[in-house]
Structure 1
Amino acid sequence: MGHRHRRQALLHRARGRRIGVPRRLGRLPQRPPQARPHPPLLVISDGGAGLISACELVLGCSLRQRCLIHKCRNVTSKVSRHDLAEFKKEFWEIFDTTELGLPPGQRLVETVQRRIDAFAAKGEKTYPAAVKSLLTDRSSLTSYLRFPVEHHKRIRHSNFIERTFGETRRRVKVIGRFPGEASCVSLAFAVLDRAATGWRGFTTTPAALRQLEGMRRDLLNPVSADVIQPAPQDHEPPAEAA
């Protein structure tokens, strides 16, 4: 087989490859409840189908936020250079909630979702591909609006964790090859743990802590309706006959 035919065969196999969750993720050992780590309240991801499927499988109780910086790049890549600056400005104005004066929660999420609808209606005829990219997985664009306001600008993108990729690659070059999966995971967590000590920008107030605890209770430990027992009703004693 010639070089050109081998290349066509490889391209054909690559295009037909199915991207999804590895099978072993579905066979993770089940730990007892007291030994399981607490899942995070929020998972920030890009648009990778495999990562999204893994989050839904393993962290189904957690909220998922689509990185707005990645989404902005995906949307504006389908816009002409002449309209790029104005289009990008209007995109970020969708998520500017400083003047709304609404507390975090469902009402704020619905308000921003209406802004997305208005933005899509305005640019649908001019840039249909960009609007289609914006509306894809749109529910994950506003998950961060349920969290404390002082955290919004930090948790709506994945820049925090992406800065650690370079440090991880630098350490991997020194090692060359990992002896096993455990050593690879240990290195990744060590880099993240060290980077987390220097993160800035998260202002945690007592009100924010109470809000996060309430979200953790509602999302990760919901009270089942079967557990709630109706309160005993006080029956009035029968009236005595005169």
Structure 2
Amino acid sequence: MLAKVSAGDQAEVKAAYWQIFDLTELGENVKPGQHLVDWVQRRIDTFAEARGGRYPAAVKCLLADRQSLTTHLRFPIEHHKRVRHSNFIERTFGETRRRVKVIGRFPGETSCVSLVWAVLDRAARGWRGFTMTSNGLRILQDLRRALLHPPAQLHPTGDPALAPVTEAA
């Protein structure tokens, strides 16, 4: 985004960008989740309105990637600074690619999964800066459960495709 801003204005825009993600305004009772994502999304909109006329290309870049920019806000607060960028993830996948190049082709799915598991397990031992509190573990388990078993709608309404099924019951 800064590449789309003149050199003289980059410091100002950079400071304003990081202000979007500053959670100190919310106090100490900040809880991760969709409400926090929505709050930051509103701040992104405010940033876009304030600077859209002067830096349209930079604002377009910001708005195009807004969902990716707020994904880390669903994770425990103590993890935000580590997971808001993808350096440790990129490094892990780079290690996997390096090992796969040597092998060339896997004889089966099990060998592929075993190699990926080994690389991720080794990488996870080297991740520094993650503190796992009981509250953080609960939040991560809730996220995992929501991704693997999303809640089903109990009473579908207004869907014309389901009308014959509803009438038959």
Structure-2-length-normalised TM-score = 0.73
Per-residue deviation, 1:167: 4.1
Match of 1:200, as an amino acid?
R
Range with greater deviation from structure 2 (183-192 or 89-98):
183-192
Structure 1 residues 165 and 98: alpha-carbon distance in aligned structure 2, compared to 1, 3 A threshold: same
Per-residue deviation, 1:226: 4.1
Structure 1 CA distance, aligned partners of 2:97 and 2:70? 31
Per-residue deviation, 1:106: 2.7
CA-atom RMSD in angstroms: 2.7
Specify the alignment match of 2:83 in structure 1: 155
- Name the larger-Rg structure: 1
Q: Secondary structure at the match of 2:11?
A: helix
Structure 1 residues 87 and 198: alpha-carbon distance in aligned structure 2, compared to 1, 3 A threshold: same
Q: Secondary structure at the match of 1:99?
A: helix
Specify the alignment match of 2:7 in structure 1: 81
Answer yes or no: is 1:178 the counterpart of 2:130. no
Match of 1:90, as an amino acid?
A
Gaps of 5+ in 2: 156-169
Cα deviation code 1:119-160 (max 9, x no counterpart): 111211111011001001423321221221111112221111
Match of 1:120, as an amino acid?
A
Q: Secondary structure at the match of 1:150?
A: helix
Per-residue deviation, 1:180: 4.2
Answer yes or no: is 1:143 the counterpart of 2:87. no
Structure 1 CA distance, aligned partners of 2:8 and 2:124? 40
Query: Could you tell me which of 9, 19, 26 is aligned with 1:93?
Result: 19
Specify the alignment match of 1:22 in structure 2: none
Specify the alignment match of 1:37 in structure 2: none
Cα deviation code 1:70-119 (max 9, x no counterpart): xxxxx112111111222122212211213322322232222211111111
Q: Secondary structure at the match of 1:126?
A: coil
Structure 1 residues 128 and 220: alpha-carbon distance in aligned structure 2, compared to 1, 3 A threshold: same
Specify the alignment match of 2:142 in structure 1: 214
CA contact (8 A) 1:164 1:195 kept: yes
Q: Which structure shows the bigger proportion of residues in helix conformation? A: 2
Structure-1-length-normalised TM-score = 0.53
Count the aligned residue pairs. 151
Structure 1 CA distance, aligned partners of 2:127 and 2:39? 30
Answer yes or no: is 1:202 the counterpart of 2:103. no
Gaps of 5+ in 1: 1-74, 228-242
Per-residue deviation, 1:165: 5.2
Structure 1 residues 167 and 103: alpha-carbon distance in aligned structure 2, compared to 1, 3 A threshold: closer
